[in-house]
Amino acid sequence: MTRFEVIALGVGDTFSEHHHPTSLLLVADGCKLAIDCPDMYRRVLRDASLKGAGPLALTDIDDVLLTHVHGDHMNGLEGVGYLKYFADHKRLRLHTLPEVLEVLWERRLHVSMGRLWDGEAFKDMRFEDYFDARPLAWEGVNRIGPFEVEIRRTRHHVPTCALRVRFGGRILGYSCDTAFDLDLIEWLSGADLIVHETNLGPAHTLASDLAGLPESLRKKMCLIHYPDSLDLQTVPIRALLEGDVLKV
Ligand SMILES: [Zn+2]
C-alpha cells in the first residue's frame, strides 16, 4: 500500500498575479488524479515540480475530476484534450457532474474544439473524440482508480461538488468553491486532511469565518483559492503553497 498524497498545483483565484488557479493532484498506488484543470496546465505542473513536488508530467495523468465549469477550474481542458488527442493518441478520462456534462461540450468546448482542419479538409469533431466521460453519481461511492470518491453539492453560482476521497483508510476532504456552509464543514469533518477554499463574495467563504471554527478542525485544515489580498499571517489556518506535498 502506497501513501496517499495531495499535491497543491495552484492555490490562487482567477484574478491572482502570484498564483496559478486552484487545482490539486491526488497521488496513490501509482495513480495520479487531477482535481480541476486550469489554463496552461503543463506550466502549472512544471511550476509545482520546480517548487518541490517532484517530477510531474502530463503524460502520467489520464484522469481529471472537474468540479464545476468556472474558467479558473476548467480552462486547461481544451489544451489537455488536444495534447492527449494529437500527441498521446488517447482520450482524457473526465470525471464530472451530470450537470457539467450537459453543457460542457455544446456551450463551452464545441466552439473551439468542434472542427479540425488537416490542411485540406475540415472534420467535425465530437466530445467523445477527445474525452472519455465518466459521470459522477451524487449518491454513493464513485471509484476512480484506487480512490473512492463521494461528492456533495456546495453553495456556489453553478453546480459544484465538494469531495471526500478515500484511499488506504485515509480520507481527504475538499470543500471546492462554496459559500461558508457549516453543514458542508460537518460533512468534511471526519476527514484526516481538509482543504478548504477562501475568497471574497457571497459564493465564497471568508477566512474570518473559518478562523472561528474549533481548533480541532483548523489543525487539520489547509486554505486554498485565496485572494492575493489575504494576509496569510492573520489567519490561524495553514495556507497551501504551490508545490506543497501533503500526506493525507
Ligand atoms: Zn467557482
Instruction: Please report, for residues 9, 23, 107, 199, 238, the alpha-carbon distance to residue 231 in angstroms, rounded to integers and kept in the order given.
Output: 20, 21, 37, 12, 12
- For 115-152, write each residue's pLDDT tens digit: 999 999 999 999 999 999 999 999 999 999 999 999 99
Cα of 225 to ligand 1 centre, how many Å?
A: 10
Number of CB atoms found within 10 A of residue 133's CB: 17
CA 210 – CA 232 distance, rounded (Å):
13
pLDDT of residue 164 exceeding 80, the answer is: yes
Cα of 123 to ligand 1 centre, how many Å?
A: 33
Joined together, the cell numbers standing for residue 197 give 477554499
Cα of 116 to ligand 1 centre, how many Å?
A: 30
As a whole number, mean pLDDT of residues 193-213 equals 96
- For 13-23, write each residue's pLDDT tens digit: 999 999 999 99
As a whole number, mean pLDDT of residues 4-32 equals 97
Cα of 203 to ligand 1 centre, how many Å?
A: 8
Q: Give the pLDDT confidence score for residue 236 in this predicted structure.
A: 95
Q: Give the pLDDT confidence score for residue 2 in this predicted structure.
A: 76
Choose the CATH number for 5-247 among 3.40.950.10, 1.20.5.510, 2.40.50.140, 3.60.15.10.
Answer: 3.60.15.10
Cα of 158 to ligand 1 centre, how many Å?
A: 8
Residue ranges with CB less than 5 Å from ion ligand 1: 70, 177
Number of CB atoms found within 10 A of residue 153's CB: 15
As a whole number, mean pLDDT of residues 55-75 equals 96
Across all residues in the chain, what is the average pLDDT? Answer: 97
Cα of 204 to ligand 1 centre, how many Å?
A: 8
Q: Give the pLDDT confidence score for residue 1 in this predicted structure.
A: 58
pLDDT of residue 196 exceeding 80, the answer is: yes
Cα of 68 to ligand 1 centre, how many Å?
A: 7
pTM: 0.96
Cα of 115 to ligand 1 centre, how many Å?
A: 28
